[in-house]
Structure 1
Amino acid sequence: MTWHLAPEAFDTAAATGLRRDYYDEVASRYWKRPATTEEIDEGLAGDGVELLTPPTGQFVVGRFDGEAAACGGLLMLDSGRAELTRVFLRPAFRGKKGADLLLELLEREARLLGASRLVLNTRLDLVEARSLYVRHGYREIPAYCAGPYIEICYGKHLPL
């Protein structure tokens, strides 16, 4: 049983399915009820995912034994800073070290885009994600952006 992670277009069938599952999970947890198909469609419409392509960003997909299992994105905010976004593992694949591999790949891809620092924002209730980021050396930073779902921000300098 092995992982294979690589950059992939955000609009492939696998990437689209992962993005839908990501939005479904974060919205459902926030609303404390299952998100509807219409709410997922609305949340994904105009979400800026098209910027997650070089040179403005990158999108990656992870497969576990060939099955689409994980995704994550990078968005360049300025010449040296990139934002981690849409970091997600389908629940059936959690606990199989895919999250660690996903973050490692995203950090390498960020360096290839010219970033020396990664930042991210998340919600306090997403405790698993917050634990992952802290385990990988991300530390709480002052807010670098604003929005209704931004409750905590993290940052990390990337080693050369």
Structure 2
Amino acid sequence: MIAPVPAIAIETPLSTDMGEMIAELNALLLTMSPPEACYHMTAEEMAGETTTVFVARIDGKVAACGALHRHPDGVAEVKRMYTRPAYQGLGLGGSILDRIIALATREGHSRLVLETGDKHPAAWRIYERAGFSRCGPVLDYPDSPYSIFYSRSLVTA
């Protein structure tokens, strides 16, 4: 069987199919963590000028996404990483993360950080393979038993 070829591009999160995937991601996260430990960006927040959203499509269907969200002082954040179950195992998350890292590096950010859940070992493996290390709370996230934090220094271009 020939593996499907993903197309990864910067897209708006305001499309109907992206709205459906964001709702799917939010619902999934709420099954794994209490609402107060879920730090969702809305599609409207994701569409703001400080955020770039990468979308992987296979045969035109939204398969995965991830975003770069910029903060002051050279810090950028990885947000909204998700691969739909039917597309897991194809390397989409790692490919999107590579795009996020490359963009953050090109823009001159010194550090990338992220918050993920305590029940997401597949995500941890992707982040650790990409050079992220666990750390304490980042940005304004509270220290929580439901959160795992990662950080990675960037060598700017």
TM-score with structure 1 setting the length = 0.80
Shift of 1:110: 2.2
Report the identity percentage: 25
- Alpha-carbon spacing, 1:150–1:73, altered in 2? closer, same or farther (3 Å): farther
Aligned residue in 2 for 1:20: 23
Shift of 1:112: 4.3
Unmatched runs of 5 consecutive residues or more in structure 1: 32-38
CA RMSD of aligned residues (A): 2.3
Residue 6, structure 1, aligned to residue 9, structure 2: yes
Aligned residue in 1 for 2:69: 75
- Alpha-carbon spacing, 1:49–1:67, altered in 2? closer, same or farther (3 Å): closer
Shift of 1:150: 5.3
Q: Of the candidates 97, 113, 117, which is equivalent to residue 119 of structure 1?
A: 113
- Structure 2 counterpart of 1:155, one-letter code: S
Separation in structure 2 between the aligned mates of residue 79 and residue 154 of structure 1, nearest angstrom: 18
Unmatched runs of 5 consecutive residues or more in structure 2: none
Separation in structure 1 between the aligned mates of residue 73 and residue 108 of structure 2, nearest angstrom: 7
Shift of 1:17: 1.6
Shift of 1:56: 1.1
Separation in structure 2 between the aligned mates of residue 122 and residue 70 of structure 1, nearest angstrom: 16
Separation in structure 1 between the aligned mates of residue 122 and residue 96 of structure 2, nearest angstrom: 14
- Structure 1 counterpart of 2:141, one-letter code: A
Separation in structure 2 between the aligned mates of residue 151 and residue 28 of structure 1, nearest angstrom: 14
Separation in structure 2 between the aligned mates of residue 115 and residue 17 of structure 1, nearest angstrom: 31
Aligned residue in 2 for 1:153: 149
TM-score with structure 2 setting the length = 0.82
Shift of 1:53: 4.4
Shift of 1:63: 0.6
Aligned residue in 2 for 1:137: 131
